[in-house]
Amino acid sequence: MVKVASIQFEPRLGNVQWNGETTVSKIHESADSGAKIIVMPELAACGYMFRDKEELKASSDDLSGTQRESTVMAWRSVAMKRQVLVIGGFAHRVHEEIFNASIAILPDGKFYIYHKLHLWGAEKEIFSPGENLLMPFETPYGKLAMLICYDIWFPETVRALALNGAEVLCVPTNWVPMRHMTASELGLAPMLMQTNSLVNGIYSIAADRIGTERGQDFIGQSVIVGNDGLILSGPASPNESSIMYASINPENIEKERNWSKWNNPINDRRRDILKLSID
């Protein structure tokens, strides 16, 4: 069994120093509680509601190690020190482009970066879209995959990851109220996490933010879901910081996908009719 954590908090827009110190403290708290996989929100390093690309650039990170303040490098340091796997969101600057990114940092310091494929709202004005789906990667705690927020609205993304062996899906997110809903109502996003876990037979961990930033409300409700689609922890409060925990068992994924002697949600798909580019 592997203990996992979902960190929910309110980042401060453009204050990378405060965000870095706060997230590092919360990673330590999670590790003190025995968590080995620790997931933080989308753009946890910098905040979300940037007015334009120039403002965003000041809070982005090129991972060169030359920046005075690099929240991501601070995450890498604490991941290695505490021997945990840390996942979190940041603005990744690559030459003249900036991507809404998630990084997974392994206990040995090796890391993987995913660029969000499906940009939401005004993100399209300041971020470049990702160009590739990052395939699952081996870790000491199972085979992991990453998506970011709006990506989970596209079932093909999760299915593609599951077909490539994903056991645990980590989703940094900044969920906002959907149309005709308020931030305090139970959101649809946690239900999507449940659905994606159920139909693909994988564990999933979503870490959302809270608060209101430049008029934009965020709904919290972070959640950890079992490979049977049932909630293991959460949904968290819509407006309070918290760290949620659950224990998962990725080693049993393949066995537990056999719902009966007739049905397996991965193997039953009619590949002769429903084709994906990875088939």
When mean pLDDT is compared across 75-79, 157-161, 266-270, the lowest value belongs to: 266-270
Average pLDDT, the chain: 93
**136/16 Cα distance (integer angstroms):** 29
Domains and CATH numbers, the chain: 2-256 (3.60.110.10)
Q: How confident is the model at residue 64 (pLDDT cuts 50, 70, 90)?
A: confident
The number of beta carbons lying within 10 Å of the beta carbon of residue 28 is: 15
87: DSSP letter: E
User: What is the pLDDT averaged over residues 48-66?
Assistant: 89
Confidence of residue 272 (pLDDT cuts 50, 70, 90): confident
From residue 231, how far is each of 6, 173, 185, 195, 221 by CA, in Å?
13, 17, 18, 11, 12
Closest to 148 (Cα-Cα) out of 9, 44, 236: 44
The model scores a pTM over 0.85: yes
Helices (H), the chain: 16-32, 53-57, 71-82, 123-126, 155-163, 189-200, 253-256
Higher pLDDT among residues 64 and 176, named by residue? 176
